[in-house]
Amino acid sequence: MAPNLEQEAVKIADELGEVVFVGALAVSHYSNYRTTKDIDLATAAPLDEQKLIDLGYTRWSESKGTSWLSPRGIKVDFYTRDVGGIPVTWILDNAVQVRLGKNKEIRVMCLEGLILAKHRAARTTDIADLRQLLTHRGGNIDWNLMAEIAESLEIAELRKISNALAG
């Protein structure tokens, strides 16, 4: 993970409590890769806008309330219902704890959820991220866990891609 984004993730987790990082920050946990300077996170509770404002967050100008700027000026996108059709409750239940330095921890989306979300989104960057994830971590996928959230056709497709890229 990019060091400055790691620090930002730790601060956000301290400020907001139970959050799970998804998107590029999570991708770079599984495979060191390129990231833009924005953060996507999933949180179960409805967004408490007043709490965000009190903490120094400001609304992102073009957003309808899901995108904010952190007090350090980093854009943060909040997902409160689902990420690519994967329920936030499932994401929180299956999140992976990541230790950053001494005593600092954040939670990131599990590999299976991240791969499925990228596969469903299928934008240019998602396909690049998916290729990166499956090349380097395709052999680590828990297909039983994947079966909890993916359709059988999606699993077949992902198995095929994973076999081709990860070997």
Partner 1 sequence: MMLKPELTIAQTIGVRPVYHIDELSKITESRSRAYRILSKLREAGFAEQVREGYFTLRSSLFQPFNLWSDLLPSLQALKQARFFGLSYNENDVRLARQILKGIVTLDYRAYEITKLQSPHLFFIYVDKADQAANMLKECKFSEGTKGRVVIIPRIGEFRNEIQRVYLDCIAYGGRSLLDAIAIEILHNEDLDPKIRGTFKTEDVLKVREELGAQSGTRSGQDS
3-state class (DSSP) for residue 163: helix
* Residue partners of 123: CB distance under 8 A and separation at least 6: none
| Distance, CA of 91 to CA of 82 (rounded, Å) | 8
**Binding span for partner 1 by CB under 8 A among 11-19, 28-36, 91-99, 100-108:** 28-36
CB of 89 to partner 1, least distance (A): 27
* 153 near partner 1 (CB under 8 A): no
* 114 near partner 1 (CB under 8 A): no
Beta bridge partners of 13: none
End-to-end, the C-alpha distance of the chain in Å comes to 25
Residue closer to partner 1 (CB basis): 43 or 132: 132
Site string for partner 1, 33-72 (x = CB under 8 A): xxxxxx--------------x----xxxxx------x---
* 109 near partner 1 (CB under 8 A): no
Residue closer to partner 1 (CB basis): 61 or 144: 61
Handedness of CA 130, 85, 96, 103 (dihedral sign): positive
Other CB atoms within 10 A of residue 94 CB: 19
Binding site for partner 1 (CB under 8 A): 2, 5, 32-38, 53, 58-62, 69, 73-75, 122-125, 127-131, 134, 160-161, 164-165, 167
